[in-house]
Amino acid sequence: MNNCEVCPILACQNEKEDSIILEAKRWRVVLDANQRFLGKMFVTLLQHKQSLSELDSEDWHEFEAIVGKLETAVNRAFSPSHFNWSCLMNIAAMNSQETHVHWHVHPRYAEKIEVNGEIFDDGQWYPRKEKVDHIVTKETEWIIAVKIKQALKACS
């Protein structure tokens, strides 16, 4: 798509990248480098569709399976209190760009968690009044990704 910010990102991603958590027929799951919520990921539709109303039954069926797998795996890896899922696409819309269906997965934690010496503090729990970035080191990103991938394999 000419005015889609997401399509070029999908095209440039290599299946061997550590940040790719799961690749399905229709969706790709990628760990966000900004781990303001430990285990924060993007679940992105591989085909360019601009709204949820464009998804077909196969898109929804595969997405449903991914939700179950991811929540089970992240629960095993890090024991969050619950999950927030959002499909906003606000930035693209605000910038007059084409939207591209994707979801943000936010595992939420009532307690602080430590991974690789880094503390993940969900802060004010909910609602979160300010946006707090937590860009992790490549090593910590790799450790988080491996823990989730191992938990995914254990669930299979």
Per the domain annotation, does 129 fall within a domain?
Answer: no
- Is residue 1 one of the residues assigned to a domain? no
Q: Residue 13 is part of a domain; what is its CATH number?
A: 3.30.428.10
Does residue 95 lie within any of the structural domains?
yes
Q: What pLDDT digit, counting tens, does each position of 93-137 carry?
A: 788 889 999 999 999 999 999 999 999 998 766 665 667 889 999
Kindly state whether residue 148 falls inside one of the protein's structural domains.
yes
The pTM for the full model equals 0.92
Q: What is residue 1's predicted lDDT score, i.e. its pLDDT?
A: 52
Q: How many domains does the chain have?
A: 1
127 assigned to some structural domain: no
Owning domain of residue 87: 6-119+134-155
Q: What is the 3-state secondary structure (H, E, C) of the chain?
A: CCCECHHHHHHHCCCCCCCEEEECCCEEEEECCECCCCCCEEEEECCCCCCHHHCCHHHHHHHHHHHHHHHHHHHHHHCCCEEEEECCCHHHHHCCCECCCEEEEEEECCCCEEECCEEECCCCCCCCCCCCCCECCHHHHHHHHHHHHHHHHHHC
